[in-house]
Chains A and B, each alone.
Chain A
Amino acid sequence: MSRLQLNDLKVSYDGKVNILEDYNLEIENGTLVSILGPSGCGKTTTLKAVAGFLEAREGEILIDDEDYSKVPINKRNFGIVFQSYALFPNMTVYQNVEYGLKLRKVPVEQRKKQVLDILETVELISLKERKPENLSGGQRQRVALARALVISPKLLLLDEPLSNLDAKLRIEMRSQIKKMQQKFNITTILITHDQEECFSISDKVAIMNDGKIEQYDTPENIYSSPNSIFVADFVGFKNLLDVTKIGKGLYKLRNGKEIKAKDVNNAKKIAIRPQNIVVDQKVESLIEGHIKVRTYLGDSYQYEVDSELGDIVVNTSDSIVLNTGDTIKLNFPESEICVLSN
Chain B
Amino acid sequence: MKKSKLLTIFVCLVFFYLIYPLFITVVASFNSKDILTFPIDGFSFKWYISAFSSSYISGFSISFRVGVIATIISLFFGIPVAYGLAKYNDKFTKRIKNVFFSPVLIPGIVLSYSLFLCWVFIAKEFDMKLPKLLVLMLAHIIILFPYTIRVIGGAFDKFDFIIEDAAISLGASKKDFILHILLPSITPAIVSASVLSFITSFNNIPISIFLYGRGATPLPIIMMQDVEKYGDPSVAAVSVVLLFITIGITFLIEKTLGLNNYGR
Contact = CB atoms under 8 A, between A and B. Distances in A.
Interface string A47-77: 0000101000000000000000000011111
A100 interface: yes
Contacts of A76: 169
Contacts, number: 62
B176 A103 contact: yes
Interface stretch (A83-91, A119-127, A307-315): A83-91
Contacts of A104: 171
A80 B171 CA distance: 11
Contacts of B167: 88, 99
Main secondary structure of the interface of B (DSSP, over half): helix
A147 interface: yes
Interface string B176-201: 10001100110100000000000000
Contacts of A9: none
Interface residues of B, number: 19
Contacts of A88: 163, 166-167, 180-181, 185
Interface in B146-175: 159-160, 162-163, 165-173
A80 B172 contact: no
B97 to A, nearest CB: 24
Contact of A99 (B159, B160, B162, B170): B170
A87 B162 CA distance: 9
B165 A103 contact: no
Contact of A90 (B166, B169, B173, B185): B185
B171 A103 contact: yes
A77 B166 CA distance: 12
Given A84-B160, A86-B160, A90-B185, A100 B171 contact: yes
Contacts of B166: 80, 82, 86-88, 147
Contacts of A87: 163, 166
A243 B219 CA distance: 91
A115 interface: no
A74 B171 CA distance: 4
A99 B180 contact: yes
A84 B162 contact: yes
A94 interface: no
Interface in A143-192: 147, 151
A78 B171 CA distance: 9
B129 to A, nearest CB: 47
B181 A90 contact: yes
Contact of A147 (B159, B170, B180): B170
Interface of B: 159-160, 162-163, 165-173, 176, 180-181, 184-185, 187
List of 4 A-B pairs having minimum Cβ-Cβ separation, nearest first: A86-B166, A100-B170, A90-B184, A103-B171
Given A73-B165, A91-B181, 11 more contacts: A74-B169, A74-B173, A79-B169, A80-B165, A80-B169, A84-B162, A86-B163, A89-B159, A89-B185, A99-B170, A103-B170
29 contacts: A73-B169, A74-B168, A74-B170, A75-B171, A79-B169, A80-B165, A80-B169, A82-B165, A82-B166, A84-B160, A84-B162, A86-B166, A87-B163, A88-B166, A88-B167, A88-B181, A88-B185, A89-B163, A89-B185, A90-B185, A91-B181, A99-B167, A99-B180, A103-B171, A103-B172, A104-B171, A147-B166, A147-B170, A151-B170
Interface of A: 51, 53, 73-80, 82-84, 86-91, 99-100, 103-104, 147, 151
